[in-house]
Structure 1
Amino acid sequence: MSPLLRQHRYALGVTLRRLFAQPFSSLANLIVVTLALAIPLLVASALTSLQPVSGRLAAEPEMTVFMRVDATPAETGAVADRIRRDYRSDVVDVRVIDRDKALADLKANPAYADALSVLSDNPLPDAIVVTLSGEDLARRAGRLAAAWREWAKVDMVQVDSAWVQRLEAIVRFARTGLIMLAVVVAAAVLAAVFNTVRMQALSQREEIGVARLVGATESFVRRPFLYLGAISCGVAALAAIGLVRLALDPLNAALADLARSYGAEFAIRLPAAPWLGLFVVAVALLGACSARWSVSRSTRF
């Protein structure tokens, strides 16, 4: 075995002995870091699970222009042609839904057939469905709706997919919040590991001094502390994954009832294994960097 590998094995053994020599202190630090990591991991899991749902929703909002009941097919066609001609840069598609066809489709549905069979006249208006394109859809949809409402024979303009825009805004807000939360958690982990390593270094001041007298290098002295930071944070990251996995069962049970009330299915799941592996490695590296910073400042004696 090469001298470098023997030094790393020795440093790892020293680190494990120090951890087990102070079980309560090590466990307390592990719990603090685990809870700090579990919160952003749970939020990231929710966003990852929500992404496919939002991806299946129509990204381009549809606006429905409802004509007055007394509007003729020619007047409805004129409004549709005007939208195609004057707003060609704003729309992708314009289609007309005839009032008679809409009534026939409703009567074909058994849930509405009995109620509609007693009607003597067709109460439904003609409708024009407009699909928008481009950027800043929410603002532009409001501007277009306000303009079209002023046209003759137009009764109402409805932005059918405005809720999609709200959902996308919520997801963007949550991503920004997650980034800020991750920064705060990273700072908390740095502080926890920094303080733990500092206390370890100060408690072993005499041992470090003797090691230097017999020729120990700075790398040899600091290596066990780097392992301490990396192992503590790596184990805490694994514990955070396990904690979130346990928390998902009651959360998904509650979400299932809520989703069923809207006729949908939704469940929060942990990210894929490669992402979780990267999460553990990144947290372990963060702990090692914090330990390196701490030991560099705490062993200058």
Structure 2
Amino acid sequence: MKRLLEHHRYALAVTVRRLIGQPFSFFSNVVVIALALTLPLLGASVLVSVQPLTQHVSANPAITVFMTPDASLEQAQAVAQEIRSRDDPVVLEVRLISKETAYELLRGNQAWRQALEVLPDNPLPHAVSVTIAADEAMATNADVLARQWQQLDGVAFVQLDSIWVQRIEALLRIGNIGLAMVTLIIALVVLAAVFNTVRMQALSLREEIAVARLVGATESFVRRPFLYQGGITCAIAALIAIGLASAALTPLNEALSGLSRTYDALFALHLPDALSLFLYVLAAISLGAFSARWSVTRHTRY
């Protein structure tokens, strides 16, 4: 165990000396990888920030249950109570809208006021507005609930904006798939950058590695400094990427603050939680070490 720790300490010291000996190459690689790693972080920040917003803004799908024209307010209240009593987990809010309330709301709209004034009485029915949770299965949930509520006593029809619901689902799905594709592309970029760097260094140290093998150096002993090089490079790049993403979010949030105020909402983009960022750095280190091992294994066989 002591010998293994000594080997790792030696490999780490060799790696640091090599990186210091080629500062421009090391710095350029770190910058390229950091810029690449910033992109998926920004994409994840947008998705993480937008997802909770769907619980508070009008993106949540609403189902409107319209009563028959001759249905009484008591019947509408009974329907609203029936929906609440079922305790469906996807139902977030149940709100009764009387025909009088709806009529006054329309009268407050200039486009509807003149049309309502020529009518002899209030033609609007009582209605129950139900807000359901926005998740991946919200279109299916909304269809099922709409069919159930259509059978309630006094209900004329149930209006479901299924197209809008499906659009929300599609946008969230596209965002997740797009982020996954960008992350895969970035991983390939990092893999290629580290692979090429280690390849060039392995070729430049060809004679030194050959001599080390002649005196008994094992394959693990030869590869270990290169693995540290790939891991350290990607670790520093990932930390810089987090800093760049955080700095990029500042002007974006300043621009979004004015827009969010027009919707009476507080919205800001933020990075994923600390555990996710730690796993992101760990994944970058693993990718760098894997790329370095692959490169040095391919180019030191002689």
After TM superposition, the score normalised by the length of structure 2 is 0.76
Change (3 A) 1:97 1:257: closer
Could you tell me how far apart the structure 2 residues matched to 1:77 and 1:212 are? 89
Identity within the alignment, %: 53
Worse overlay, 8-17 or 198-207 = 8-17
Check if 1:10 corresponds to 2:10: yes
Could you tell me how far apart the structure 2 residues matched to 1:94 and 1:203 are? 71
Worse overlay, 287-296 or 52-61 = 52-61
The superposition leaves residues 155-179 of structure 1 with CA deviations (integer Å, 9 ceiling, x where unpaired) of: x975468645533331221011111
How far residue 138 of structure 1 moved from its aligned partner, in angstroms, is 3.8
Q: Is 2:45–2:271's contact at 8 Å kept on the other side of the alignment?
A: yes
| Residue correspondence of structure 1 range 126-205 to structure 2 within 5 A | 126-129=125-128, 131=130, 138=139, 158-159=159-160, 163=164, 165-205=166-206
| Residue correspondence of structure 1 range 83-98 to structure 2 within 5 A | 97-98=97-98
Change (3 A) 1:9 1:94: closer
Q: Tell me, what secondary structure is at the counterpart of 1:266?
A: coil
Q: Tell me, what secondary structure is at the counterpart of 2:128?
A: strand
Check if 1:48 corresponds to 2:48: yes
Could you tell me how far apart the structure 1 residues matched to 2:137 and 2:12 are? 55
Change (3 A) 1:13 1:133: closer
How far residue 245 of structure 1 moved from its aligned partner, in angstroms, is 0.8
Paired position in structure 2 for 1:235: 236
Paired position in structure 2 for 1:263: 264
How far residue 234 of structure 1 moved from its aligned partner, in angstroms, is 0.6
How far residue 185 of structure 1 moved from its aligned partner, in angstroms, is 1.0
Check if 1:213 corresponds to 2:214: yes
Q: After the TM superposition, list the runs of 4 or more consecutive aligned residues in structure 1 that deviate by more than 4 angstroms.
A: 56-60, 65-68, 91-96, 118-124, 130-137, 139-145, 160-165
Q: Tell me, what secondary structure is at the counterpart of 2:40?
A: helix
Aligned residues: 279
Q: Is 1:54–1:167's contact at 8 Å kept on the other side of the alignment?
A: no
Q: Is 1:64–1:128's contact at 8 Å kept on the other side of the alignment?
A: yes
Paired position in structure 2 for 1:300: 301
Paired position in structure 1 for 2:61: 61
Could you tell me how far apart the structure 2 residues matched to 1:95 and 1:256 are? 30
How far residue 21 of structure 1 moved from its aligned partner, in angstroms, is 1.1
Calculate the aligned-residue CA RMSD, in Å. 4.0
Q: Is 1:225–1:295's contact at 8 Å kept on the other side of the alignment?
A: yes
Q: Is 1:49–1:267's contact at 8 Å kept on the other side of the alignment?
A: yes
Q: Which ranges in structure 2 are unaligned for 5 or more consecutive residues?
A: none
Change (3 A) 1:122 1:266: farther
Could you tell me how far apart the structure 2 residues matched to 1:182 and 1:196 are? 21
After TM superposition, the score normalised by the length of structure 1 is 0.76
How far residue 281 of structure 1 moved from its aligned partner, in angstroms, is 1.0
Q: Is 1:63–1:161's contact at 8 Å kept on the other side of the alignment?
A: no
Could you tell me how far apart the structure 1 residues matched to 2:297 and 2:2 are? 26
Change (3 A) 1:251 1:60: closer
Could you tell me how far apart the structure 2 residues matched to 1:242 and 1:196 are? 24
Q: Tell me, what secondary structure is at the counterpart of 2:63?
A: strand
Task: Give the AA of the match of 2:213.
Answer: R
Identify the match of residue 72 of structure 1 among 70, 73, 76.
Answer: 70
How far residue 24 of structure 1 moved from its aligned partner, in angstroms, is 1.2
The superposition leaves residues 86-140 of structure 1 with CA deviations (integer Å, 9 ceiling, x where unpaired) of: xx9xx98998643124446x59xxx88xx98x96966561143364989965479
Could you tell me how far apart the structure 2 residues matched to 1:52 and 1:163 are? 18
| Residue correspondence of structure 1 range 4-43 to structure 2 within 5 A | 4-43=4-43
Q: Tell me, what secondary structure is at the counterpart of 2:54?
A: helix
Task: Give the AA of the match of 2:280.
Answer: F
Could you tell me how far apart the structure 1 residues matched to 2:202 and 2:94 are? 72
